[in-house]
Amino acid sequence: MYALTYERRRLTGIRSTWLVLLAVLLADAAIAALTVRQPALDQPVRVLTAGVPLLPLPLAAIGAGAVGALSYGQEVRYSALRPMLLPARRRLGLLLAKLTVIGVFSALLAVATLGLDAGVYAIVLHRAPTAGPALLGFLALVVTGGWIGLLAAGVMRSAAAGMLVLLVVPVLVEPAVTVLRGGLTRHGAALARVHALWPVGRNRAWLYGPLSGLHDTAALSTRGLALLLAAPVLLLLLGYLALLPRRRGI
């Protein structure tokens, strides 16, 4: 309980949390307003999630990841707790508290962006959007983004590294899955079709695209998308737990 109380107060007591929150909400509303005014792009899910093909993740997921990465980055930079965290169990308790608080913050951020974009949709088109269960996947993606940023920063002891991992994961997963699914089977065709692995500028999106109302390059089942959400979090968590006994600090 002490770790949860500390992490909640730390998250709400620093200026960067509120700056990221404000920036995400303003940018999200602006993208939704631009998207909903274009008849070819005004699908409800895409407007509500403010999906942008040029970004590997929705803005809300990137914002949640930034707050998560800063959470551990600030602990490393201002290590006031280091003398209290020599036992591994205390560091593990702090990690669980951070995962809980960042998860709740990310979920609230996702709900706030959905509500804001729904208001933009209703004001411009004079009707309520109907998106259905697809938004549950978006909610899961935002929470996953927050956890990836947090765990990557914890493993690498750097907020910048945490953000880099967050942005690189979807970019690397896209071509890897395409290759594994047999998209490129011959070496000659591989060189000729390398550009097809990168969806930017081709009216497509990354593999997480369906969770933002965007078309993806490889059709995946719900189970496949769930696996792509869980795998980075589990791998980073295992990496952190493997390093935990070898470190004396956070």
The confidence score (pLDDT) of residue 191 equals: 43
Q: Residues with Cβ < 8 Å from 46, sequence gap 6 or more?
A: 35, 212, 213, 214
Burial of 45 (0-12, 13-18, 19+ CB in 10 A): buried
CA distance 149 to 66: 6
Query: What is the C-alpha separation between 15 and 28, in angstroms, rounded?
Result: 20
- Residues contacting 3, CB < 8 A, separation 6+: 93, 94, 96, 97
H helix or E strand, kind and range, residue 153: helix 134-156
Give residue 1's Cα distance to chain centre. 27
Cα–Cα distance, 51 to 65 (Å, whole number) = 16
Q: Give, for all 250 residues of the chain, the pLDDT tens digit.
A: 688 998 998 899 889 999 999 999 999 999 999 999 888 777 888 899 998 877 888 999 999 999 999 988 777 776 655 655 567 777 888 899 999 999 999 999 999 999 999 999 999 998 888 877 778 999 999 999 999 999 999 999 889 999 999 998 877 766 666 666 555 545 445 544 444 544 444 445 666 777 887 766 556 677 878 888 898 999 999 999 998 888 766 6
Instruction: Tell me what pLDDT residue 101 has.
Output: 96
The whole-angstrom separation of Cα 143 and Cα 107 is: 6
pLDDT of residue 183: 54
In eight-state DSSP terms, residue 49 is: H
- CA dist 138 and 118 (Å) reads 14
Alpha-carbon distance values, 11 to 14, 139, 155, 232, 246 (Å): 6, 20, 20, 24, 27
pLDDT for 32 equals 93
User: Would you say how long the chain is, in residues?
Assistant: 250
